[in-house]
Structure 1
Amino acid sequence: MERGLIVNLHGTAKIGENNHLWIGGADTVELAKKYGTPLYLYDVSLIRTRARGFKKAFEEKGVGYQVAYASKAFSSIAIIQLMDQEGLSLDVVSGGELYTALQAEFPAERIHFHGNNKSVEELEFALKAGVGCIVVDNFYEINLLKTLCRQVNKKVKILLRLTPGIEAHTHDYIITGQEDSKFGFDLGSGQADKALQEVLESEFFEVLGIHCHIGSQIFETEGFTLAIDKLFSHFAIWEDSYQYFPRVVNLGGGFGIQYTSDDTPLEPEQYVMAMIDEVNRKMAQFEGKSMPELWIEPGRSLVGDAGTTIYSIGSQKEIEGVRHYVSVDGGMTDNIRPALYQAKYDAYTANKMNDKPAQTVSIAGKCCESGDMLIWDLELPEVTDQDYLSVSCTGAYGYSMANNYNRIQRPAVVFVENGEEQLVVKRETYEDLVRQDVPLKSKVFV
């Protein structure tokens, strides 16, 4: 079987000159030689296509909306500037993500601040920055935010995060919408009703509406429509009891991508169309009410399959009749998802894309951990330490979850588009690793 028949490429990726993998009009092998490995590459054109696909669906339906990039998927000044270019809003979940956004000069009024345990310092930072809204997660935060708003005599726009009790069809580790969750106010127990009462009674809150997030890596629309049904049924109760109807309904993210051929996600606009259609159906019972703005928070589905990691192949170990290990110069320090979630990826030999498979190997990382395995049972051509491995769809939760275990430096990040390349995150140096270290000065500790 020819290799080219089974390669599953994304965006602008193609098999180009010299039998190499090309992305964004650039030779990935040459980029690896220039910037070193491991190397994160981002297909900017694909990110733009994804962003415009989400926006187009709302605009075709004539619905007020915000598409907020969930920056936890990959946060850097350059990616946030790119999202600003595409007219997106931004979802941040920490002071660090907010700081990065402000350094990128992203408009604060389009920033939504999430998190289940925001600190006093983070909330003060958000209030001072003038973020567009704060997604309130719990009663502790309601009281804390009241106090801080009173101190600065400032009113803040908020959404209430609700857990609607809908479980998405996804991995147990990344489900967040069911009743047993650390996030949000539960609908079924009455928590949400109590929270709404409290925030409506406060002079410091402008209650825009609600937020919910039912899970991650979702491949169908049923979970979203069930959540909408449950939410709007509860809105009817709120209208009767508190004369309140949300102006904003934020349905979160979780839209899946295709990591391997086993994954069957929908196109971005299909999720949006299903959401809008279901909300339109539910609005029929609210005579005289305007359609709320619909907000969503794609992260992985904007950047996930736009990212590729290039590794240099190193040592090999073959155990006859058992396994053939091929090691690369990265691993759980630049992609911890296989170790955490047993996540699966496609991978190819970037400099031998059309070569026929000749062996079944397992890709090992370089960390001093037996669990540092990136891919099990991968078909590759014969490889040596002169070859490069490309792992697809590493654009989400790769760099953002990267770490310095074993004092390994985090990789560089390069954007490619229309044959142009730009280094957007420098590779860490050994000096960077010890920059925050403080040597002992007292003999007491020696």
Structure 2
Amino acid sequence: MKIQEFKDLVFKRAAELNLIEYELYYHQSDSVEINVFQQEIDQYSNNSEIGVSFRCLYEGKMGYSFTEKLNEEEAMAIVDHAKDSALFTENDDKQFIHDGNDEIETINLVNNKIEDVSIEDKFKFTLNLEKNVLEESEKVSQVMECTYSEKLSRYGIINSKGLNREYQCNNIMTYAFPVIKEEDKAYSDYSFKCTSSFYKLDAKELAKNVVKKVESKIGGKSITSGAYKVVIENETMAHLLQTFSGVFSSENTQKGLSLLKGKEGSKIASSNVTIIDNPHLEDGAHSFPFDSEGVATTSKKVVDQGNLVTLLYNLSTANKENRKSTGNGFKSSYQSPVTVLPSNFYIENGERTFEQLIQNVENGLLITSVEGTHAGANMVSGDFSLAASGFKISEGEISTPVEQITISGNFFDLLNNIEAVGSDLSFFYPYSGYFGSPSVIVSEISVAGE
């Protein structure tokens, strides 16, 4: 059954139950995933899926239901279940079905040339990626993971207020995770590339970068505890931004889970820091013309030269503060209720090169990775204590590798202590948003080592 036919049955049932405000949301995807191990195709999948959700306002509460089956029986059931679930909803916040009175910006999120790439070429690329990683250094003992994945998605929202919006997008991601064994120790790291175009993938470049990352860790030692001036490398700073991104959610400020409540218009970071939420970013893993409520998305400065311009809002949280939604009402999947999430969320590039940042730190540390963000970071307070690794910086140059250290501090203090921002914007592995940052100089951070 096609989505339009299913929608007609759903809306007919909603009318029979005297529902006034309701919405059908759907996500259809075609995906390919290839995993290579020891120069053989270890896993290959080619799947097509569709999921739909229905929500309705009943007695002032929002009810939800979802299904993966498009037939007459499910069309009846999804409406009945949503109506029933509204009676048990504990959320008293006023909920909304969008009327579609905003204008959607046309953005191209599909690279049609992906259709010209044969599955054999995708196999070949993934095999070559693993081969290039192994050949990049004789020290590489194996590649634990080597993956190519792509997804073509179609999202749509149709509701009782006349809104009918749909868009398509495609994403490709490739990933390599090599291991180097040196004496009795094993060293590993990963690199990935996210794009909409197969022809932007470069197996040799990805292999070179990831092997360099792993080799640089060999021989790392701890250092004396103390307060250090540091350069935080781009992907690591993006990782920290991802970890604490929830503080910019109006949903969290309204629940008392963010210290940014009431801070819009106030200085919260160094004047060197501008943070952007850009749902129209080219090759962004989270680019959308409208959010999961059907609200038009726009690129916006969340922090502008240290000043908090706006939090992120959906229709419900915006209503609480007599504001407009920022177009950040997203579902984490078609099965989920609407919450507040960022899109492509990143610190804006500065003017200094990475080399210039290093030269500006006479003696200090370069932090290239952090671990334990789930347990060692408190989003509410902003406090963190994280295992880290990187390099010493001596006389303005990168010197010996450093490991077995813990960095601790507060995210809001860190933002205020950023002395300089690099021009090497890079993004962290996409999860509940796509987070990026250039490398930054932080004036002081506490390091626990020997």
TM-score (norm 2): 0.21
Give the helix-richer structure, 1 or 2.
1
TM-score (norm 1): 0.21
Give the strand-richer structure, 1 or 2.
2
